[in-house]
Structure 1
Amino acid sequence: MADSSTSGELAASLRSLVSRMAPGERLPSSRDLIERYRVGPGTVSRAIAVLAAEGAVVTRPGVGTFVAPRRSRTAAAGDTSWQEVALAGREYDPGNATEAASPPPEGGVAMSGGYPHESLWPARALGNALARAARRPDAWHRAPAAGLEPLRALFARTAGGTVTAQDVLVTGGGQGALSMLFRAIAAPGGPVLMESPTYPGALAAARAAGLRPVPVPMDDGGIRPDLLADAFGMTGARLLYCQPTFHNPTGTVLTPDRRRQVVEVARAAGAFLIEDDFARHLGHGRPAPPPLVDDDPDGTVVYLTSLTKPASPSLRIGAVIARGPVTRRLLGMRYVDDFFVTRPLQEAAVELLSTPAWDRHLQALSGALRERCATLAGALQRHVPDWTVTRIPQGGLHLWVRLPQGSQATAVADAARSRGVFVNPGDRYFPAEAPGPFLRLNFAAPADLTELTEATTRLT
């Protein structure tokens, strides 16, 4: 085995070896494995750890590694039908809001999902930040319920305006925080106003909280304040969920005049406005407008952001910014739900955001997203000219594409899948009936520009 062999390859070789050995039989020593497979001690340790986690071997420090007793892989099938009765009366239907977690099959190209390809993650900076965080003497101490003070200050600085660290609650990413906000602010059975279209994860979280999503139409300037006022008046809603900057899925940015109007409409209705600013760090070169919470001293806006999109799906660190009694309620829910966000991850986030490497990463990410967006838009125009890109966004990860009238978005997505390209049909993004056939295409998910262009040719 060559020096470049990975611990995964060694684990596969050892797995084969173990399958031919008897339970209780001792594996070759680490020194023997190093010599036999020509790998380093660390590679051997990691491979043995993998097999131990699988239950294939048992390690005895100072003695050796032994084949574990064989376990029966067959078990009598249980009868879980009783759960249908036990769960009756508490409806939970996330619909098709969940994103595919597994990578596409070999040869397939993902243009679905909500994250950039791993090549766009700041892998080295993340590793260095985590290593530095782990060396802190208090890294494994209990974290404050509201989050580490330095991290809260960093999020407050990003929001700008009069926001202070005391207004910030650190969360375990954005999705869980969104679920918490819906449960904390609105009563089950009540309405929640949402842009149409909107983020499917928000629709799922609202429905799981027992809320009733009510669509408010958008145009090129974002959500329409006049129809928003009508919706508040007709439904009596006390909550609006919106994405004013680089909206998912359309990429729309709420116009400057409407930004103030939307907050004023919500305030006049005595309602909260959840501002989901998930794409704050996903701009394509131009500065993003300031958040709505930047100019909201009265606590109408509850602000939500996260580091998972620009950094990594596994950096589950986000923040909620709120003022007034709702802050105490959210902190109370933290004590009920999970006490605090794991401290090592918070420490790593502080390390990451405090270094020049983070700014360099954001600059590189901005250029890469801009290039990918232009590449996909141009390829679509060449290969599927009857598809209409609704806008070239100035930020975010997606293009929102209108299909020819009479098309069925699900059928088009199924046909693309049969050719090895995975896309999101647009029906899932609407709180009610879709006004037409749409697709959402993630230009950040493919491995590179070549794969992105190749995927587009398969859509024809």
Structure 2
Amino acid sequence: MLDDSGSRIARELREWIATAPPGARLPSTRELAARHQAGPVTVQKALRTLTAQGLVEARPGVGTFVRAVRAARAADYGWQTAAMSATTAPPSALPAALRTAPNDVIAFHSGFPDRELLPERLVRSALARVARSDAALSRPPAAGLPELQAWFAGELRAATPADVAPPTPRDVVVLPGSQSGLSAVFRALIGRGQPVLMESPTYWGAIQAATRAGVRIVPVPSGGHGPDPEELSRAFAESGARLFYAQPSYANPTGAQWSPDHARRVLEVVREHGAFLLEDDWAHDFGITTTPSPVAASDDSGHVLYLRSLTKSVSPALRVAGIVARGAARDRLLADRAAESMYVSGLLQAAALDVVTQPAWARHLRGLRQQLRARRDLLVGSLTEHAPQVHVEQVPAGGLHLWARLPDDTDLARVVGECEAAGVVVAPGTEWFPAEPTAPFLRLSFAGPDPGRFPAGARILGEVLFRG
């Protein structure tokens, strides 16, 4: 570890290297020691740190020189995603996001927020109250507790323009988590062997749910601003698909958020093809610098199926979600859920409702926004300082993750394995592609435990990449 003097030397040299051409020679150890009033051992430690990060290279007997960093190239092969059909290879048994890691590792892989980001006091109080209520012994309606249905409808109604008919509580079906909602939609509304459009990359859970339901995934390339509406229209026309799965707000994994104009254009395409948009608003409560604006708020003709989960923002122990659907689609989904699980635990529904209707819930979300921003910026800064080979094209305005591109010649399996051996667990980006990956990526979570160790994790990642 560098002391304060060594850290200062390394920092100032990084600033100089950022403007120096590759091959430029650094001052000698003696010159640096005199300039910074530090001992030669301290200077040598700072230079070794820069060497480990891939910023400089030492040539024995000659000196130390600025090294050309292998940055991720800007080449975009995303168009190939639409030109080729999805792979038929089965998904892995346990995605990285669901792995339970030991407490002593630096966990960049998790898809769930750390405990300190959850409203723990609200959850405990809610469970205690609900345990003494009738919900502990009663069977709830198949569609969900009426009060919780009304809450989900009200949340969407608050964003609905005046000229659009708002959803009603009856339009809501309560689910045991959003994953079951995805399965229900693919099974009940699409059917085995039929096509469904998906952004690529996209949420691994949606890929798995579609695969298990036997539907045929048609990938649509998507980037930092969402899918190209023209490309989406072409995919609808060529595949005959009648549903498009997407995450318009803080997409997992890219962090993309659609602009209002982009959302309008996508919705127009969906309507033109007489299709559904399955809007997964998984990160509704995780805005950082913006606030989500659901596409479903602008639709009153039943084209948008709106899925919102409370599992990540309230507690992973309370697997409760709601889907807003209208017309026959709602009836089919309710019939599927009733056949699959009959109803969602009334105890869990009542506890989730108790949490989100407390005045302290709004205060919690305001504090959460600040916590996520600090964590996100810490991880971005740590990667910039310690792993300059990693390219984060878009700092997300919300969500829980960074989508990080690695140099094109990276052996991703090696990087994942060597990081884990060094105590850093990362999630390989391959799990988020319904077809072949367009480049080597990692999804790095800034919502995991112990953010104070983010710089150490980034340093290890940078060292592993440098060795490659």
- TM-score class normalised by the smaller sequence: 0.7 to 0.9
Q: Select 2:176's aligned residue among 153, 167, 172.
A: 172
> Within 5 A, what are the aligned runs for 1:72-83?
none
Deviation at 1:94, TM superposition (A): 3.2
C-alpha contact (below 8 Å) 1:97/1:200 kept by paired residues: no
Deviations 1:360-401 (A, max 9, x none): 211111111111000000000001112101211010000001
Q: Select 2:452's aligned residue among 438, 450, 453.
A: 450
Deviation at 1:266, TM superposition (A): 1.2
C-alpha contact (below 8 Å) 1:168/1:321 kept by paired residues: yes
Note if 1:300 corresponds to 2:303: yes
Note if 1:427 corresponds to 2:418: no
Q: Which whole-Å CA distance do the structure 2 matches of 1:450 and 1:262 have between them?
A: 40
Indicate the residue corresponding to 2:343 in structure 1. 340
- Percent of paired sites with the same residue: 44
Q: Which whole-Å CA distance do the structure 2 matches of 1:92 and 1:307 have between them?
A: 31
Distance change >3 Å, CA 266–CA 398, structure 1 → 2 = same
Q: Which whole-Å CA distance do the structure 1 matches of 2:103 and 2:400 have between them?
A: 23
Q: Which whole-Å CA distance do the structure 2 matches of 1:384 and 1:101 have between them?
A: 25
Q: Which whole-Å CA distance do the structure 1 matches of 2:182 and 2:409 have between them?
A: 35
Indicate the residue corresponding to 1:313 in structure 2. 316
C-alpha contact (below 8 Å) 1:305/1:320 kept by paired residues: yes
CA RMSD of aligned residues (A): 1.5
Aligned residues between the structures: 368
Indicate the residue corresponding to 2:56 in structure 1. none
Indicate the residue corresponding to 2:215 in structure 1. 211
Deviations 1:192-233 (A, max 9, x none): 111110011100100100011111112332111010001011
Q: Which whole-Å CA distance do the structure 2 matches of 1:265 and 1:333 have between them?
A: 28
TM-score (norm 1): 0.78
Deviations 1:41-62 (A, max 9, x none): xxxxxxxxxxxxxxxxxxxxxx
Deviation at 1:334, TM superposition (A): 2.0
Q: Which whole-Å CA distance do the structure 2 matches of 1:106 and 1:321 have between them?
A: 38
Q: Which whole-Å CA distance do the structure 2 matches of 1:393 and 1:263 have between them?
A: 23
Deviation at 1:134, TM superposition (A): 1.6
Deviation at 1:96, TM superposition (A): 5.4
Deviations 1:80-118 (A, max 9, x none): xxxxxxxxxxx9933356345453224211111210111
> Within 5 A, what are the aligned runs for 1:96-135?
98-99=95-96, 101-135=98-132
Letter in 1 for 2:447: A
C-alpha contact (below 8 Å) 2:97/2:111 kept by paired residues: no
Q: Which whole-Å CA distance do the structure 1 matches of 2:312 and 2:196 have between them?
A: 25
Note if 1:287 corresponds to 2:284: no
Q: Select 2:363's aligned residue among 357, 360, 367.
A: 360
Distance change >3 Å, CA 434–CA 138, structure 1 → 2 = closer
Note if 1:273 corresponds to 2:277: yes
Indicate the residue corresponding to 2:39 in structure 1. none
* SS at 1:441 equivalent: strand
Letter in 2 for 1:184: A
Q: Select 1:200's aligned residue among 201, 204, 207.
A: 204
C-alpha contact (below 8 Å) 1:97/1:428 kept by paired residues: no
Distance change >3 Å, CA 92–CA 180, structure 1 → 2 = farther
C-alpha contact (below 8 Å) 2:279/2:307 kept by paired residues: yes
Indicate the residue corresponding to 1:76 in structure 2. none
> Within 5 A, what are the aligned runs for 1:14-413?
93-95=90-92, 98-99=95-96, 101-160=98-157, 161=160, 162-288=166-292, 290-413=293-416
C-alpha contact (below 8 Å) 1:397/1:444 kept by paired residues: yes
C-alpha contact (below 8 Å) 1:185/1:326 kept by paired residues: yes
Instruction: Give unpaired runs (5+ residues) of structure 2.
Output: 1-87, 161-165, 463-468
Q: Which whole-Å CA distance do the structure 2 matches of 1:104 and 1:332 have between them?
A: 38
* SS at 2:142 equivalent: coil
- Normalized per residue, which structure has more helix? 2
Q: Which whole-Å CA distance do the structure 2 matches of 1:181 and 1:452 have between them?
A: 38
Deviation at 1:410, TM superposition (A): 2.4
Q: Which moved more, 1:252-261 or 1:275-284?
A: 252-261
Deviation at 1:250, TM superposition (A): 0.6
Instruction: Give unpaired runs (5+ residues) of structure 1.
Output: 1-90
C-alpha contact (below 8 Å) 1:139/1:347 kept by paired residues: no
Distance change >3 Å, CA 92–CA 456, structure 1 → 2 = closer
* SS at 1:336 equivalent: helix
Deviation at 1:287, TM superposition (A): 1.9
Q: Which whole-Å CA distance do the structure 2 matches of 1:103 and 1:248 have between them?
A: 20
Q: Which whole-Å CA distance do the structure 2 matches of 1:280 and 1:225 have between them?
A: 23
Letter in 2 for 1:294: A
